[in-house]
Structure 1
Amino acid sequence: MQEITGLELSPKKVEYLKFLSKKGELVRTTDISSELNVDPSTTTKTINDLSKSGYVDHVPYRGVLLTEKGRRYAEFLVNRHNILSLMLSHYGLSSEEACDEVSRFESFVSKPAIDVICNAMGHPTVSGCGMINHNSCGSAGNL
């Protein structure tokens, strides 16, 4: 198993995995394009890249679904977002402001940094953006 560093994917690919995780089911590529406001050809290319890397299964003309590897990584991504959002809200940003701000930089924060922040915050369970699963917070984190 490959260890999660938190820096494996580009910010755009992070958006794809988080969106697929939120949906939790087979998602049509047209829905992905629409939600992420990208051209369908860009969606197809990105999905093919994610599929080659083992994060998603793509059934042409049917849709896209996270693999087990993709599901575990997406869980880390959502937790990273929620932990960073909670941290910013502790420094005076509203939950909505913190969520928006974190979306701008979260892809550049490593798992070791997230583990330190999570530990320092006492392993929180909820942020303004959602629940925090401690299986991804401070754990070994393998794909």
Structure 2
Amino acid sequence: MTPMKEDYLKIIFELGGTKKKVSNKQIALSLDIAAGSVTEMVGKLVQEGLAKHTPYAGISLTKKGVRYAETLVRKHRIWEDFLVDKLDYELPDVHTEAEVLEHVTSERLVNALEAYLGNPTHCPHGGAIPDKDGHYQEDSHTSLADTADGSQVTIERFIDNHDLLMYLHEIALKIGQEVTVIKHAPFEGPVTIEVQATGEQIPVSFKAAHNVFVK
């Protein structure tokens, strides 16, 4: 399987495609690619029995696709945890390294890494890590963009994207922060939030707000 197909499986997994339909627009926003490219790749995943597509509803993973995605996500996120926890990598820098490492990691090695790290349940950007038996706590799939004005929520996780993580680092948005959603600007403008601990108001871009998940 090509790295691009694997990226699609992982992003559909991250967006909730194990339980619900994910739109082409969501995938395009998260991967920062054209919607036409998504349509073409979705067709290939469907042909290979990894995904199901319902016109005007979206795409979800088949049982085969879920198993494949869980294996990829497990290796990727355990490596991210190792890089941040043991090698002091900054969060925006771990994705590229983990992308390389996951493809050369055997099941024996990932199990040993997991034990060495104390069996972590979540990676540094908040995503759940499936254990060796495929068990994990389901992530939140409620995006900041879809959260109503006035809501008080906790930042739970970020999509695993280098540019996104760099941007969130620059605006100092962090996992675990409790925030109030102040307003959604019209015409794909930013979502303004207020950090409850400090009172600071932060405008989060339209694209980023679709890749930040809250609970």
Matches of 1:88 and 1:80, distance apart in 2: 12
Matches of 1:49 and 1:102, distance apart in 2: 27
What amino acid is the match of 1:21?
F
Output the TM-score relative to the length of structure 2: 0.51
What amino acid is the match of 1:74?
A
Higher-helix-fraction structure: 1
- Give 1:119's match in structure 2, choosing from 97, 102, 112: 112
Aligned to 1:58, what secondary structure does the other structure show? strand
Matches of 2:23 and 2:133, distance apart in 1: 29
**Unaligned stretches of 5+ in structure 1?**
1-8, 138-143
Q: Write out aligned runs for 1:24-103 (5 A).
A: 24=16, 25-89=20-84, 90-94=86-90, 96-97=91-92, 99-103=94-98
Aligned length: 126
Could you tell me which residue of structure 1 aligns to residue 10 of structure 2? 18
Aligned to 1:81, what secondary structure does the other structure show? helix
Which digits, 9 at most, give the CA deviation of each residue in 1:43-78, with x for residues without a partner?
A: 111101111111100112221011111111111111
Output the TM-score relative to the length of structure 1: 0.73
Provide the identity percentage. Answer: 25
Matches of 2:49 and 2:101, distance apart in 1: 22
Matches of 2:112 and 2:25, distance apart in 1: 39
Q: What is the Cα deviation at residue 79 of structure 1?
A: 0.6
Matched, 1:128 2:121: no
Q: What is the Cα deviation at residue 108 of structure 1?
A: 2.9
The alignment's C-alpha RMSD in Å is: 2.4
**Unaligned stretches of 5+ in structure 2?**
136-215
Q: If you compute each CA radius of gyration, which structure gives the higher value, 1 or 2?
A: 2
Which digits, 9 at most, give the CA deviation of each residue in 1:15-45, with x for residues without a partner?
A: 2111211222201112212221112221111
What amino acid is the match of 2:112?
N
Higher-strand-fraction structure: 2
What amino acid is the match of 1:14?
E
Aligned to 2:49, what secondary structure does the other structure show? coil
Matches of 1:103 and 1:121, distance apart in 2: 14
Matches of 2:30 and 2:88, distance apart in 1: 30
What amino acid is the match of 1:79?
R
The answer (yes or no) to whether the contact 2:111–2:132 under 8 Å persists in 1 is no
